[in-house]
Amino acid sequence: MRLRELGISIGVLPPGPHNAITDVPGVLVGHSTIIADEPRVARTGVTMIVPRAGAIWSDHVFAAYHSFNGNGEMTGLPWIAESGMIGAPIGITNTNQVGIVRDAIIRHATEQRYYESFFLPVVAETWDGILNDIGAFHVTTEHAIAAITGASGGAVPEGNVGGGTGMICHGFKGGIGTASRVAATESGDFTVGVLVQANYGLREDLRVDGVPVGRLIPESEVPSAWGPTESSSSIIVIIATDAPLIPIQCRRLAQRATVGLARVGGFGGNSSGDIFLAFATGNPLPAAPATPYALQMLPHAQINPLFRGVAEATEEAILNALCAAATTVGLRGHVAHALPHSRLREIVGRARAAL
């Protein structure tokens, strides 16, 4: 179930065909989902975003990041800041295993003899230690590589999948969500796609299109997975676009994820790792060029529709994660309840009818 299937949409721009990050041509998503009850409880996994299908190792993308609250990890940041480029799939997993996933990307590149690529992988995380026995270190090199080799385009599985398997958001079950927007500019239409691993926020702060849904579903009705006043985690936002942006413009897009997050109810809490990465596929970037790159650059004055697209798609991607995620029982019997769809539909419907 996705937000729009409940009759609710966000913003004014139209989504792409799958309303997913994969609407950006060439972008693939793969998940390795790890669920087990024995010998130790596993509710975790890895998600991989491949920026250019079949080519990322030899044809890089421009990229930049923004840290809204840095209580989290994203590897590879110095080279993104310096070069504005990424040349490998991007991983998201749990906090304890960023390292094995990072090294796995290098192992895979080495085995496949992707020699043109540099070896500074980008891997991010959020913490799933409420539902997942995170000290069991369930993720293996093979899980990470399988998420790359199994990545595909089209509709993206959401909720309790991949890196999002054990995540919690605004007290409900969270996880992976995605959305997209088509942004019309004077230079033509471009797609902005967003994928989130949502694991942050308090119940009371949850808003859907401005409506304070969280406050209206009390603890007595659906108890929060972390308790009502606590939240110790994070959201990773990956933004893709086919617009011809240069790195400085990718950074502008990355920062706009803050807008969507703020509108759902995030404020970058102290224990939250709210780190946003944006990449742009609109320019080919061969890994080892002999001559200067010939680039296109969207004029800054035309970028507002992309900013709006990032804000809207981030807001909707988080809500898609909440709508898709299923109630989960995990470590020590902890329960994260799904956001009740009927209540969501009812509350938002009531608020809209009044306007």
Which residues 248-277 are close enough to bind a second copy by CB under 8 A? 248, 252, 255-256, 258-259, 262-263, 266-271, 273, 275
Neighbours of 294 (CB within 10 A): 8
Q: Which is nearer to a second copy, 131 or 325 (CB)?
A: 131
- How do beta strands 273-280 and 235-241 pair? parallel
| Number of residues located near a second copy, criterion CB under 8 A | 92
Q: Is 32 a catalytic residue?
A: no
- Size of the chain in residues: 355
The secondary element (H helix, E strand) that includes residue 70 is strand 61-70
Q: Which is nearer to a second copy, 156 or 168 (CB)?
A: 168
**What 3-state class would DSSP assign to 250?**
helix
Q: Which is nearer to a second copy, 160 or 233 (CB)?
A: 233
State the Cα–Cα distance between residues 102 and 124, nearest whole angstrom: 9
Q: Under rule CB under 8 A, which residues in 303-342 are in contact with a second copy?
A: 303-304, 307-308, 311
Q: Is 242 a catalytic residue?
A: no
Q: Report, in Å, the least distance between residue 98 CB and a second copy.
A: 7
Q: Under rule CB under 8 A, which residues in 49-108 are in contact with a second copy?
A: 67-85, 95-104, 106-107
State the Cα–Cα distance between residues 104 and 273, nearest whole angstrom: 23
Catalytic residue among 234, 242, 271, 342: 234
- Segment near a second copy (CB under 8 A), from 1-9, 156-164, 175-183, 287-295? 287-295
| Cβ contacts of 78 within 8 Å, gap of 6 or more | 120
Which one among 118, 157, 222, 345 touches a second copy, defined by CB under 8 A?
118
Neighbours of 38 (CB within 10 A): 6
Provide the strand spans (E) within 99-218. Answer: 122-126, 168-169, 172-173, 175-185, 188-198
Q: Is 272 a catalytic residue?
A: yes
Q: Under rule CB under 8 A, which residues in 195-234 are in contact with a second copy?
A: 204, 207, 209-212, 216
Active site residues: 234, 272, 274
